A and B are shown apart, each in its own frame.
Chain A
Amino acid sequence: MQYFMQLLISGLAIGAIYGLIAMGFAVIYKSTGLVNFAQGEMTMITAYIAWTISTTVSGNVFVVALGAILAAVVLGLIIERVVMRPMLGEPVFATVMVTIGLAVILRSSINFIWDAYPHGLDVGFGRSIVRIGPIGVRTGQIAVIVTLLALLAAIWAFFRYSKIGVAMRAVAADDRTALLMGISATRVHALAWAASSVIAGIGGVFFALSYDLSPAMFQLGLKAFPATILGGLDAVLGSGLGGLLIGITENLAGGYLGSGMKEVAGFAMIIVVLMVRPFGIFGERDIERV
């Protein structure tokens, strides 16, 4: 039982990270209609920038957090303006392929800008262990679960009440009508890229806090895929919750069935979900009109 609880808690923690990145996928899909295959790489770059700030400027938690968020915003905006905006109006296949190209470029740039060795992100927080009953939990793991829940609430409120949130939903639902209503689609897209980069970047920084930075971190994006498929590509909140589910499944599979299963549990789940409910648990069914 204790073993099970331990697996469950660490599954929740890693699942919260997947959930954050999955929300990044969903924010972009919801407002632009494409899957950003470079999400994992953007997450990785944000985490590396956070590490650079912590080693060169200051190791203070708030400085690092603020710097990482700013960096993520800039990264998202640059990518949207330079790479994605010229592709506006092109077929989805071409645009998605562009994000794949971008992913490959960002992934290899890590080795040129930083190096190929693993680093620990040390901000004097996150690695100490708190005991809840018989189970030991790292403070970083608690923090990431709390952050995910807080962000879920904030995003729900944002899409429900704020004017910009409503505008984003309008563009997602029908971009032509939204344009006629005076909403700038390009501005909404830019905002979506920045927001997605920040949300996923937070996940990346938390990953670096609890585990280590390495050039293989982009695989977080691949791990978060199942989460966003499970929750529904167009469901931001669903993707966050999907992340938790995938994290738990993966950890339980790894704990009881062997480490090989841990790697593929998420992907096996994708295939099952896509067969049963291709639009995800919380996603909307796509109705095609001829």
Chain B
Amino acid sequence: MRTGDFKQTYGELVTLVDSPPVWLWSALLVASLIVAPFVLNSYVLSFLMIILITVVGALGLNILTGYTGLISLGHVGFLVTGAYAYAILVSKYQMHPLVGFLGAGVVPALASLIVGAPSLRLKGLYLAITTLAFSFIINTVILEARWLTNGARGISVQRPEIFGISFDSDAAFTYLCLGFAVLTLFATLNIRRSRVGRAFVAIRDNDTAARVMGINLHAYKLFAFVTSAFITGLSGALYGIYLSFVSVEGFPFLLSIEALAILIVGGLGSALGAVLGTVLIVLLPEATRLVFSLFSAQMDALFSIGAQELKSMLYGLVIILFLRFQPRGLVGAWHDLRRMWVNWPLRY
């Protein structure tokens, strides 16, 4: 009988997954996601695309906020820079889409150096405020730099064709998003179990202690910023392609809140949490609409009028309720459930 979760070597502690069945289930999940585009209709498929794109962004924010403990209220700024970098490189200067994706990562990463450097002296709330300021400044910069960004008119973006493979159809684009999501997931999981990831977590838990142990706070905080911005920028590029049109209005401030809501609902500082949180937050408005439409057609009408408002209200409510009743998020709930399953009828 399994009596507990014992680790005997350090290697076991930092393995990617701690039990073999997880590989099986993950493989099954990926397989079902590969089959999905053939089975699902285009409406459901659009949700799948959004989830995969959002997972990339949420994992990006998770490196900064979840692992390193630096709160960012301005991640939509990196999202919009990434989208514009891709749109300008590919649509305007006809470059290869892969160059576009590279630019979508590198440009926000450079921008993050500019925000990150002054922020290094700041902690907690102050950092949240600087990043918030950044996201507003970047919007103005984009609107003012008309020669490059077409100002308020925006730039339209085609779905890419890479090495002769066209990602024009919904199914093909879903695969592209799936590829990015899986790569990002592996990247963040590996960052977390490396020396760098342990430094991030040390900074989050107690930065003074981390510094005493010889962790270079400035270097690691900047590195967290750059990595996070790089990944978020990629997500922005994908989102721009999904919308097929990049403009400042396409990236409202609410997206920053949505990203934080995802991390809180999922469980801060966990890659699995970011994925679970994304699924819940993306499907929440739709699920609520379905539940209410069962009751009356009137509620359904309300949803079509004030869809945006109801969506933001739901996000707010979910953030408050989770912080109040389940601060460890869905991952915490899952761990509790798993422990209960193993130990029942004993408590532990």
Cβ of B225 under 8 Å from chain A:
no
B315 engages A101 (CB within 8 Å)? yes
A271 touches which one: B118, B125, B327 (CB < 8 A)? Answer: B118
A264 engages B71 (CB within 8 Å)? no
Q: Mark A26-69, 1 if CB is under 8 A from B, else 0.
A: 00000000110000000000000000000000000000000000
> Interface-forming stretch among B78-86, B130-138, B233-241, B334-342?
B130-138
Query: Shortest distance in angstroms between B57's beta carbon and chain A's nearest beta carbon?
Result: 18
Q: Mark A80-123, 1 if CB is under 8 A from B, else 0.
A: 00010011001011101110111111011101100000000000
B317 engages A101 (CB within 8 Å)? yes
B118 engages A263 (CB within 8 Å)? no
Q: Taking CB as reference atom, which chain A residue is nearest B143?
A: A260
Query: Shortest distance in angstroms between B308's beta carbon and chain A's nearest beta carbon?
Result: 8
Cβ of A288 under 8 Å from chain B:
yes
CA distance A82 to B130 in the complex (A): 29
A100 engages B257 (CB within 8 Å)? yes
B128 touches which one: A90, A96, A109 (CB < 8 A)? Answer: A96
Of A35, A97, A267, A288, most buried by chain B (CB within 10 Å of CB) is: A97
Give residues of chain B (302-334) contacting chain A, Cβ–Cβ below 8 Å: 306, 308-310, 312-313, 315-320, 323-324, 327
Q: Taking CB as reference atom, which chain A residue is nearest B115?
A: A271
A270 engages B130 (CB within 8 Å)? yes
CA distance A225 to B130 in the complex (A): 10
Chain B residues near A108 (CB-CB < 8 A): 306, 308-310, 312-313, 316
A263 engages B136 (CB within 8 Å)? yes
Cβ of A9 under 8 Å from chain B:
no
CA distance A263 to B135 in the complex (A): 12
CA distance A53 to B324 in the complex (A): 34
Q: Mark B112-152, 1 if CB is under 8 A from A, else 0.
A: 00000011011011101110111011001001100000000
Chain B residues near A94 (CB-CB < 8 A): 323, 327
Chain A residues near B181 (CB-CB < 8 A): none
Query: Shortest distance in angstroms between B239's beta carbon and chain A's nearest beta carbon?
Result: 20
Q: Mark B49-83, 1 if CB is under 8 A from A, else 0.
A: 00000000000000000000101010000000000
Chain B residues near A86 (CB-CB < 8 A): 324
B316 engages A93 (CB within 8 Å)? no
Chain A residues near B264 (CB-CB < 8 A): 97
Contact status of A267 and B316, CB under 8 A, knowing A100-B260, A112-B306: no
B319 touches which one: A101, A268, A271, A288 (CB < 8 A)? Answer: A101
Chain B residues in the interface with A (C-beta under 8 A) = 69, 71, 73, 118-119, 121-122, 124-126, 128-130, 132-134, 136-137, 140, 143-144, 208, 254, 257, 260-261, 264, 306, 308-310, 312-313, 315-320, 323-324, 327
Closest 7 CB pairs of A and B: A101-B319, A104-B316, A267-B133, A105-B316, A108-B309, A101-B316, A101-B320
